[in-house]
Chains A and B, each alone.
Chain A
């Protein structure tokens, strides 16, 4: 288990605002990013995540607010004077230099001797699994190798924060999965803060200690992956992270710590709720993940059961996804079931019974 107490912040963002003319790219971004944390900025394109990363690196001036790096205000500090290094989306490998010259690019001003620099370059290449590639021409590398060179080139300078701008988006699926694990391993090994910009929610969930979900220049939610997935703060976050079913619900009232709601198609439920003001009656909606609904096959009994008709079946091999039209609810809900030996796959038009668990429900007011 990782230590859950928040580490001391290496980056503090205080009310960061950025305008491009009339366009409001960043709106009051405040956050603390911890020492040694793997932090992700997640959001759809145009949400401002890359702008924020570039502002931390020093490539964008901010219109208002403060960015503190290791306690120092970065206002007016150019990128070459900041304790950050960046892995660019295009990798930005210098085409006129060899692999070793690329990796050693930032060492020009260091006090190391030529021999020590050579050793450092060799070690950095070794660390990213490119030992012995030093003399190769940079333009002869594959996408994955370029990315490793970009990593080695940034990490060799021992930055306090490593910034990664969509580093995996140019790789194919297999390579991407391999690099996700490897980046995570590398981050633990060097122990410095990584800030990753990505639009891929799965990637963010797999790699991060904490994730800031951004929409339209604002942080919609900042939480560890599990909390983000289980308790999305808004419907939009729930929709963006994984799959989520939404059902209309009627808040009936509060009973102690619990809120009683009437969910269309499922029935009454008492929810432990901290996201809605206690006792606020009225229209709301319920969010429910596909895996927290369970199809009941013959002979299974459950406390809470709802009925519906199978509308669509999508078979994935290990899993089957059903779209089920619940009796008395608008639209369909998605249900995922693990395919087990001896368990049959339902077909379109079959009647189905569903068990549900109020603990997995998220109430959105």
Chain B
């Protein structure tokens, strides 16, 4: 058998075709994800003096990052804010997903999903700016509350602090949380809910014993989809977070761009990524009881 015949045969196999299909994005991912990641990792073991990079391997950056309380505090604040955003987003997304899945006529569901994506019609930056306007000292929220006589002076805790970051990010990520939860709710065979009722459980217990466990894969997906990117978010804290809402990504940016310390910035990035990984894996392991196995 000639080589060309063999190659042609190999090209016809399922795996060869699959490989051909994924190679452009795979190449792109290697170039744009793996290479920068590797670079960041390398940088984290180097040092920088003004503009010169010293390529001797050292753990000094890690020592500094872990010993200076500022970085630890920023990382924990980021985790706290991302956690709060995730909890708020998922808790608010669940009822919406539940409503669309269980109480909207089947032929109207896609319309509802379409409406839910409306926030994405404007750019992320513009949405963040809009929140800055809405939550401002003389913005509509304070104006309305004062006009109604509910408060006497403008609320100061809704802008330029961590709360503003939570509000803004929760809004931005709502569709990302609603969709996976909706999908997992849609997949629940409705006769299972009837069976639970038939076996003596009321609506609340049916929800807790059947609907919720079966929706867990969607809830977990929503949690990760919201949690992972919000930890590294840097635009929102920059624009609405004030000094109290500064997060680890802002510090990384400062290290790279202002302090000319790319190696320390890289180290902080690596530590932030590791924290996200550890928390995500822990979450996945903790919810395995509900999410594993064929459905």
On A, residues with C-beta under 8 Å from B are 57-59, 78-80, 84-86, 88-90, 92, 94-96, 105-106, 108-109, 137, 139, 153-154, 157
- Contact between A96 and B198 (Cβ–Cβ < 8 Å)? no
Also in contact, A108 and B201, with CB within 8 A (given A79-B194, A94-B210, A96-B213): yes
Kindly count the residue-residue contacts between A and B in the assembled complex, taking CB atoms under 8 Å apart.
64
Also in contact, A90 and B189, with CB within 8 A (given A79-B194, A139-B294, A139-B295): yes
In Å, the complex CA distance between A64 and B210 comes to: 32
Contact partner of B195 (CB less than 8 A), chosen from A58, A92, A137, is: A92
Best-buried of A94, A109, A137, A154 by chain B (most CB within 10 Å): A94
- Binary flags per residue of B178-206, CB closer than 8 Å to A gives 1, else 0: 00000000000101101111111110010
A sample of 6 more A-B contacts (CB under 8 A), given A80-B202, A85-B199, A106-B201, is A57-B198, A59-B198, A86-B194, A90-B191, A137-B293, A139-B294
Which 4 A-B pairs give the minimum distances between C-beta atoms? A106-B199, A92-B195, A92-B191, A79-B197
Contact partner of A105 (CB less than 8 A), chosen from B194, B196, B293, is: B196
- Contact between A80 and B197 (Cβ–Cβ < 8 Å)? yes
Residues of B within 8 Å of A153, CB to CB, are: 199
Contact partner of B198 (CB less than 8 A), chosen from A85, A108, A109, A137, is: A85
In Å, the complex CA distance between A137 and B295 comes to: 11
Contact partner of B200 (CB less than 8 A), chosen from A59, A89, A157, is: A157
Can you identify 24 A-B contacts, CB atoms within 8 angstroms? A57-B198, A59-B194, A59-B197, A78-B197, A79-B197, A80-B197, A80-B200, A80-B202, A85-B199, A86-B195, A92-B191, A92-B192, A94-B192, A94-B196, A95-B192, A95-B214, A96-B214, A96-B290, A105-B196, A105-B199, A106-B199, A106-B200, A108-B201, A139-B294
Residues of A within 8 Å of B195, CB to CB, are: 86, 88, 92, 94
Minimum CB distance partner of A138 in chain B? B293
- Binary flags per residue of B18-51, CB closer than 8 Å to A gives 1, else 0: 0000000000000000000000000000000000
Nearest chain A CB to B289's CB is how many angstroms away? 8
Also in contact, A80 and B201, with CB within 8 A (given A88-B194, A95-B214, A105-B196): yes
Residues of A within 8 Å of B194, CB to CB, are: 59, 79, 86, 88, 92
Residues of B within 8 Å of A86, CB to CB, are: 194-195, 198
Also in contact, A88 and B191, with CB within 8 A (given A94-B210, A95-B214): yes
Contact partner of B202 (CB less than 8 A), chosen from A57, A78, A157, is: A78
Nearest chain A CB to B20's CB is how many angstroms away? 35
Nearest chain B CB to A122's CB is how many angstroms away? 18
Also in contact, A95 and B295, with CB within 8 A (given A78-B197, A80-B201, A106-B199): yes
- What range describes how many residues of B lie at the interface? 20 to 34
Minimum CB distance partner of A79 in chain B? B197
Residues of B within 8 Å of A57, CB to CB, are: 198
In Å, the complex CA distance between A109 and B209 comes to: 13
In Å, the complex CA distance between A106 and B201 comes to: 8
In Å, the complex CA distance between A236 and B90 comes to: 57
- Binary flags per residue of B159-188, CB closer than 8 Å to A gives 1, else 0: 000000000000000000000000000000
Minimum CB distance partner of B294 in chain A? A139
In Å, the complex CA distance between A59 and B191 comes to: 11
In Å, the complex CA distance between A57 and B195 comes to: 11
Residues of A within 8 Å of B191, CB to CB, are: 88-90, 92
In Å, the complex CA distance between A58 and B209 comes to: 20
In Å, the complex CA distance between A139 and B189 comes to: 13
- Contact between A79 and B189 (Cβ–Cβ < 8 Å)? no
Residues of A within 8 Å of B202, CB to CB, are: 78, 80
Residues of B within 8 Å of A94, CB to CB, are: 192, 195-196, 210
In Å, the complex CA distance between A85 and B196 comes to: 10
Residues of A within 8 Å of B192, CB to CB, are: 92, 94-95
In Å, the complex CA distance between A86 and B209 comes to: 18
In Å, the complex CA distance between A44 and B105 comes to: 28
Nearest chain A CB to B186's CB is how many angstroms away? 15
Nearest chain B CB to A167's CB is how many angstroms away? 13
In Å, the complex CA distance between A85 and B195 comes to: 9
- Contact between A79 and B198 (Cβ–Cβ < 8 Å)? yes
In Å, the complex CA distance between A90 and B191 comes to: 8
Nearest chain A CB to B94's CB is how many angstroms away? 18
In Å, the complex CA distance between A304 and B205 comes to: 70
Minimum CB distance partner of A106 in chain B? B199
Minimum CB distance partner of B214 in chain A? A96
Nearest chain B CB to A78's CB is how many angstroms away? 7
Nearest chain B CB to A326's CB is how many angstroms away? 50
Nearest chain A CB to B234's CB is how many angstroms away? 39
Residues of A within 8 Å of B295, CB to CB, are: 95, 139
Residues of A within 8 Å of B197, CB to CB, are: 58-59, 78-80
